[in-house]
Structure 1
Amino acid sequence: MAQVLNNRIRAQSLVDVVTERLESAIISGELVPGSRISELALANSLGVSRGPLREAIRRLEGRKLVERTPNIGVRIAELSAKDLGELLYIREALEGMACAQAAEKITDSEIDALEKLLDEHGKQKELQSGKGYYQESKDFDFHFRIARASGNERLINMITGDLYHLLRVYRYKSSTFSGRAAIALDEHRNIIAALRKRDPALAEAAMREHIRNARLHVQAAMQSNPPGAAIA
């Protein structure tokens, strides 16, 4: 019985690894929004069988990162400029509210942890070179930490549910445009400064400004690149 459990854990771990690798490729633009993907080609490229790959793709469907169309296949999810603009307007309001509530509830140790997190972000070679600002997991995601610090479960679910993963794709694309990565890191530090002051209005304003700037950058990037093209 123990041997069976060990085998299941290893198989599940492989699916986790494949899922993380594909999600990273989608967020970074290695797999371009709107492009079709071949299970056979991906399985060969990753050196895995099609079973774990299919389970990973199903997970990514649940995260709204890929879409399956009958008789056509699987493609990388893509938002129109209009849809993205509307979602980022909503996100600005929701995350602004979360940041305001976090300013009232966050502990000194949580703020210290956020500062340490940004120190780790600042060490990324990609960020230092201006190529982008990648936060590869929820625990490494500054915005997810702020939402969680709000203590408002409904607000947390609204921010981190449904289209959270797909919006991360466009957040990353925003960071690749016109030196945005370093500016975004500075804006994150401004948010922490507002949290240190326990000033809800200042914290909300700082978060809203940050997301507004990201929206303007990614919309400009989408306008300057044809549909389906990677933003570099």
Structure 2
Amino acid sequence: MTIDLQAIDPNLLTPIRNVVYESLRQAILDGSLPRGERLVESDLAETLNVSRMPVREAIRKLEAEGLVEHQPRKGVVVKGFSEEEILEIYAIREAMEALAAVQAVRRATDEEIRNLEKAMDEIDRLCEMGGEVSASEIFEANRVFSEAVIEACHMPRLIQLINTYKDYLERFRRVTLAIPSRRELVRREHRQIFEAIRDRDEKRAEALTREHIRGALEAYLKGFSRPAPDRHLNGK
């Protein structure tokens, strides 16, 4: 299997080791390098068009961050998250985003309501196109809607806290939105959340947000329970 990592421009002003680290970290967080994927220095160096030293340094940083680990007879593999960690992250997400939805009901301006409707209309448009639309396009449209709800809460510290988990949440969303049957469900749930915010219905907005996030958790855990494949970069 070939992982979609882009070769690094050697003329970049940013230190190569930093670029390699950010490239690998983002690939892990967005699911391009999935849980259980083996990371081989030589393969990564060739793919990224760099020497092995910055790759080695990047892997050390990723290990310190808990994103990769050494396993006997396998070498370095993408660690991902334990089920306990996933449950914890989703519990935090539910609490924060439910609060954001309630505050959006109270504080969203008329212009922000219109922007939410535009974001929702874009989700509708893409979903109605069916197989012509990529999972990445669906993900991006839903991300725009979710972030618009959060911004409409007008609570800077809450927004900052949610952004702390942004990378992790995007990884989970990419996984769940890759499930075709879930896309239509998410579309309906987002439409209902939008209508609750538009109608200034706090209780409904909170309840729908919590229900949406619990459904996302259930969908993610179904995929999480499947054993990770034994593979590594370029299928070697």
TM norm. shorter chain > 0.5: yes
- Structure 1 229/143 Cα, relative in aligned 2: closer, same or farther at 3 Å? farther
Change in CA separation of 1:206 and 1:45 when aligned onto 2, cut-off 3 Å: same
Aligned to 2:206: 204
Q: CA deviation at 1:104?
A: 0.8
State the partner residue of 2:227: 226
Q: Does 1:107 align with 2:109?
A: yes
1:151-172 deviation per Cα after TM superposition (whole angstroms, max 9, x unaligned): 22222222220x3312321222
- 1:132–1:181: 8 Å Cα contact kept in structure 2? no
What is the correspondence of 1:21-170 to structure 2 with a 5 Å cutoff? 22=24, 25-26=27-28, 29-47=31-49, 66-67=67-68, 75-122=77-124, 128-129=130-131, 132=135, 135-136=139-140, 140-161=143-164, 163-170=165-172
The equivalent residue for 1:3 is: none
Q: In the superposition, relative to structure 1, how do residues 205 and 59 fare at CA in structure 2: closer, same or farther (>3 Å)?
A: farther
Gaps of 5+ in 1: 1-8
Overall identity of the aligned pairs, in % = 34
Report the TM-score when normalising by structure 1. Answer: 0.70
Equivalent position amino acid for 1:101 in 2 = Q
The answer on whether the counterparts of 1:66 and 1:74 sit within 8 Å (CA) in structure 2 is no
Q: Distance in 2 between matches of 1:51 and 1:183?
A: 46
Number of aligned pairs? 219
- Using the TM superposition, give the Cα deviation of residue 10 of structure 1 relative to its aligned residue in structure 2, in angstroms: 5.1
Amino acid at match of 2:215: N
Bigger Rg, which one:
2
Structure 2: gaps (5+ residues): 1-10, 232-236
Deviation at 1:121, TM superposition (A): 4.1
Alignment counterpart, residue 192 of structure 2, candidates 172, 190, 193: 190
User: Compared with structure 1, are the counterparts of its residues 206 and 47 closer, same or farther at alpha carbon in structure 2 (3 Å cutoff)?
Assistant: same
> TM-score normalized by structure 2?
0.69
Assess if the C-alpha contact under 8 Å between 1:34 and 1:77 holds in 2.
yes
